[in-house]
Structures are given as C-alpha cells and as structure tokens.
Amino acid sequence: MSIERERAERRFLRPVGVGDAEANAYEKFVADVDARLDKGDRDDEVAAILRGLYGLKPGDERDPLRAIVWHSCDPRHATLEPEYYRDVDKVRYGPLKPLHWLWIMFDRSPIGRNLHLGVLFRRMLAQRLFKRCGKNIKIFHDVEFTYGYNLEVGDNVVIHRGTLLDDRGGLVIGNNVSISDYANVYTHDHHVLDIGNIAMRPVKIGDGARITYHATVLCVDVGEDAIVASHGLLRKPIGPHQIAGGVPAKVIGEKPKPGKSV
C-alpha cells in the first residue's frame, strides 16, 4: 500500500451504525420537534419538549426541587448571556432565543451525548438558528455560539465538542472546514485601556481550513485550506495553504501540494 493511500484511509472514521428501528425513531423525533417549532407559541413548545426530555410531568412544578428544572425549561424563565450584550439585535435574537435554549438544554439532557441523534438534532436547529447553514454539517455536543443570526456555515463542515464560535461581529465558515475540540473563534475585541470599548471585526474561515485542538482565532481571517496548529493563538490573518502555530501564532510552513510528501 502506498503512503498516500495509507494516509487517506486513516482519515476515515470507523463506521458505526444504529438499528433501523432506532434510526427511524430518531429521525421521527427530530422531524416532530421541527414541526412543533412552527406551531403555536414557540416558548410553550420548547418548554414542553424539554420537560419531556428531562422526564418531568405535570405536578412536578409543585415539588421544591423539581420545580427549578420545570420552570427553567421555559425559555421565558431563563436568561442567556447574549441578552446582556449591548450590541444584541433584540428583534432578530428574540425569536431565536427559545431555539438557542433548546440547543443548550438538549446537550445537557440525559440523551445529549447520543452522537447519532445529536448530529441530526443540532443540524435541524442550525438551519433555523444560523444566518446560513449548509448541507451535511456535523456538530458535536457542547458547541457554543453567541447570536446565531450572524453565523454562516458552509457544506460538509465538522465542528467538534467544546468549540466556541463568537459571531457578534459576523462569522463566515466556508465549505469543508474542520474546527477541532475546544477551539475558539472570536469576532470582537476589547480596547486595552477600556474594556467597554468593543470593536467588532467580521471573520472568514476559508474553504477547507482546519482550526485544530484548543487553537484560538482572534478577529482575523484564515485562508482557504490553511491550518491553525494546536494551541495556536492567531492574531494576524494567514493566507491560503499556510500553517500557523505558536503563541502568538506565526506562519511556520505551507501545506504540500497533492502528491508530495509532508
């Protein structure tokens, strides 16, 4: 086997399937939730969905302990961090808040670590929450974003667990991008002398780019097919095919052309 073929085969995940009955049940559940979000009051629907996920039943609101969970399932009784920001567009974020709360609370529910179901569920919500959502995206658990309405995601994007996507200033993620575990992408910055002086800077992650483990991108663009290396702190933009690493991150190489060894 050639080195190139061996490397290509290693990139594929081992296929893991679920039974047909389970797969059908998951798809039916996601479709049912999707339909319910267009019926009646969205806050009421989200509250009912979450109470079902958490195994609550009528009467639990009278129990001193379970009442906390009961009331918190209702988005109207929860406060989210974006609501405190001065730059939030209340008109745009208002209808999204129940969906944002559903995203967060699903991840923390007893079934929130079911990868197969979770990918389907977040994909459905992303189509409603994000400014643009491409095809075949895969989002793992505990991914956080700020508003959603300033976030654009292309096709075949993979966003791994624990990632933070700050879209306050506008964030565009291209096609075939991979953002690894616990990476951070920021689109706003604070003045060194005045923490209340906040600058918004739109950020674009180019097609095929990779933001690897624990890396942080601070208000700069990442070029097409570029890589930000693990734990890198990127404060200057990098161009297509470049590899940046370190704290602060600097260009340390360039990806080889297809057919050449690394």
User: How many folded domains does the chain comprise?
Assistant: 2
| Rg (alpha carbons) of the chain, rounded to whole number | 20
Q: What is the CATH number of the domain that holds 224?
A: 2.160.10.10
Q: Residue 239 — very low, low, confident or very high, per pLDDT cuts 50/70/90?
A: very high
Last residue of a domain, one of 95, 128, 161: 128
Pair (122, 50) in one structural domain: yes
* Residue 37 in domain: yes
For the segment 87-98, what is each residue's pLDDT rounded down to a tens digit?
A: 999 999 999 999
Mean pLDDT of the 167-185 span:
97
On whether the CB atoms of residues 239 and 205 are closer than 8 A, the answer is: no
Pair (173, 120) in one structural domain: no
Pair (78, 37) in one structural domain: yes
Pair (140, 241) in one structural domain: yes
Pair (106, 201) in one structural domain: no
Of 185, 190, 174, the C-alpha closest to 143 is 185
Last residue of a domain, one of 102, 128, 154: 128
* Residue 6 in domain: no
Enter the pTM of the model: 0.89
* Residue 11 in domain: no
Mean pLDDT of the 103-131 span:
96
Contacts of 60 (CB under 8 A, 6+ apart): 66, 67, 69, 70
Backbone angles phi, psi at 33, to 5 degrees: -65, -40
Domain that holds residue 228: 130-257
